[in-house]
Copies of this chain bind each other. A is one copy, B any other.
Amino acid sequence: MNLEFLRSYLAVIRSGSFNAAARELGVAQPTVSQHVKKLEESVGHTLVLRSSSGCTIASKTEAFVRHAEALLRLADLAQNALHNPSILVGASSNIGTYLLQPYLKEFRDANQSRLALDVVLGPNPDIARKLEQGEIDVATMEWWDSRPGFVARTFRTEPLVVIAPPTHPWAKRSHISPAELLDQPMIGGELGTGTGRILQDILGSNAKHLRIVMSLGSTEAVKRAVRAGHGISIVFESAIADEVRSGALVVVPVRRAKIKKDLYVIHRRGLPQESIIVQFANGL
């Protein structure tokens, strides 16, 4: 598939004429015919319905037009990407929302150059997929399964806390025992964040008796559910600083158990040390 062919093809579709397309592109008209023909041969499908009074797209090839336009647009973007350097950071929603922001500001200030620094948030599995498919340059996540071709580093070990509404009986307790977690209805956070595994470390095989009464897509939603009295939950300590200060939520310490989660920063293997990506990852 040749991008010039696509350009001719789209010009024909837009203008409705091989002739007009040729003028628009500044080539001879038979060249456009040839381009479209070659393109049709390469995809094995008729793309343009020829007619003396205006050419149209063939039925069921609507999606191809869309993709072709996206391809040319993306080719332009790729060119620009070299003149306006940018990196795309993927982050699990929790990390991106509560932990990454100060570092982003710091990193951007340190690289005072006009570096575009974009962040995409999403569920951990989505971020992992995006990294693997090259949609993002570097990822910060709550787990990593050491896939080949990538370098992962624990950049932080973040404490987790049990939260409850201030009206909860536990609010007056100085601490609880791990086993007591099994008695309470619990709100689960976003799936695939590895919190289940951490609870297994503390509770052993009893973990399967946890009563997860609902599972919500974001920590903000979890916090609201806990405040509404639906149950307790376990979240990043840094995610509930405001609510604890205002008294909307209380933290319940768990005896003899430091609940914490390792956070990973991951990028492709084989990047040079000077790479902005490596600098971003190492600076975390």
Contact = CB atoms under 8 A, between A and B. Distances in A.
A153 to B, nearest CB: 18
B43 A79 contact: yes
A137 B62 contact: yes
A270 B54 contact: yes
Nearest to A3: B1
A162 interface: no
A180 interface: no
Interface string A181-219: 000000000000000000000000000000000000000
Contact of A82 (B2, B45, B276): B45
A197 to B, nearest CB: 30
A65 interface: yes
Contacts of A57: 271-272, 275
A136 interface: yes
Contacts of A63: 81-82, 85-88, 137
B43 A67 contact: no
A74 B88 CA distance: 18
Contacts of A70: 74, 134-135
Contacts of A60: 82, 85, 276
A177 interface: no
Interface string A70-88: 1101110111011001111
A68 interface: yes
Interface in A137-177: 137, 149
A71 to B, nearest CB: 5
A66 interface: yes
